[in-house]
Amino acid sequence: MALRTAGSVLVVFLWSVTVVLGQTGWSVTYTTQSICALKGSTVELTCSYTYPRGHKVTSTFWFTKMETGIEPEDIGQNAGRLEYHGDKKKHCNLRITDLRESDSATYKFRFITDQTRGKYYGEPGVTLSVTGLQVKVTGGHQDKTLTCITTCTLTDNPTYIWYKNGHKVKEDTSSLDSDSFSDADSYSCAVKGHEGLHSPAVYGPRNTSVSVSPSGDIVEGSSVTLTCSSDANPPVQSYTWLYRKNGGHYQSISNQNTVPHHVFNQIKSSDTGEYDCEAWNGMKTGRAETINIDVKFEWLKEHLSVSQSLW
């Protein structure tokens, strides 16, 4: 089994009841049947095996796929991140470094001896699930709760570390409560012992702005689209469009739309005014700078058309 020598790495060991399956004289013992590990970390699948006296083991390997009548492929042949730490007598440990979500699979160990029909693999194998960390935001506009979540349950009740704007603020459970967020605040989480494997940071809407399409002069009867854009994580959940005319008070013209557009199918001169939008993503609201829409009368459209023809 052509695999590289192990270096100095951080290893995650997870233990459970030993499972032994096999027939007389043949067996593979997996230390655990299921492992949930963090993306980017290192994990070790541990097992041991037995075989009848008089046999000599000639080949050992791990595999993830088996088809009827076809010898399974040694996963170590094409993966430099895999290190076989076993031998040809008893131990059959496999270490996988820099875990990726694509490594999620059920791994089984197989060995072959020098005797006719001296081949064996162990069921049920080890099911490996690889997960990243994500921060989930719940609550209203005031009190909020941030929760560090994974797609599978990490074992051994890990301790979570919370970071605000890149600086450690708390070491405790998977949840963090907060009653306010500033424009600059961003939060991420990690698991103690794997501090280098942060979740993506969450933050309120930034650089919120409004654009108009088409650009240029706007005349009555034309179709005009206002688009609200914002940088936010989690993504913006709702948009509110605001309008005011002749320096009056702002009024809401659409509330909590899930799409970032406000469309005038046939804009009118009475739509002239100042427009801006608010973007809400569950953490806070970001507001754009006001833009001015000046709608020209229909006669100006005809005048422009005549001028262009003469030109």
- Distance, in Å, from the CA atom of 35 to the CA atom of 162, rounded to the nearest integer, reads 24
Q: Are strands 144-149 and 134-139 parallel, antiparallel or unpaired?
A: antiparallel
The CATH number assigned to the domain with range 205-299 reads: 2.60.40.10
pLDDT in tens, 37-91: 999 999 999 999 999 988 999 999 999 998 887 888 888 765 689 988 888 888 9
35, β-bridge pairs? 128
Q: Are strands 218-219 and 295-296 parallel, antiparallel or unpaired?
A: parallel
- What does pTM read for this prediction? 0.75
pLDDT over 90 at 311, yes or no:
no
What's the confidence (pLDDT) of residue 23? 57
Give me the half-sphere count of Cα atoms (radius 13 Å) on the Cβ side of residue 136.
Answer: 9
Place of tokens 């700078």: 289
Alpha helix segments (H runs only) across the chain: 298-310
Amino acid letter for position 272:
T
pLDDT in tens, 98-148: 999 999 999 999 999 999 889 999 999 999 999 999 999 988 777 888 999
- Distance, in Å, from the CA atom of 252 to the CA atom of 244, rounded to the nearest integer, reads 9
pLDDT in tens, 219-246: 999 999 999 999 999 999 999 999 998 8
What's the confidence (pLDDT) of residue 78? 58
Place of tokens 């001028």: 307
CATH class of the domain defined by 19-130? mainly beta
Domain ranges of the chain: 19-130, 132-200, 205-299
19-130 and 132-200 have identical folds: yes
b/e per residue 277-303 (b: at least 16 CB within 10 A): bbbbbbbbbbebeeeebebbeeeeeee
Superfamily of domain 132-200: Immunoglobulins (2.60.40.10)
Which comes out higher in pLDDT, residue 16 or 212?
212
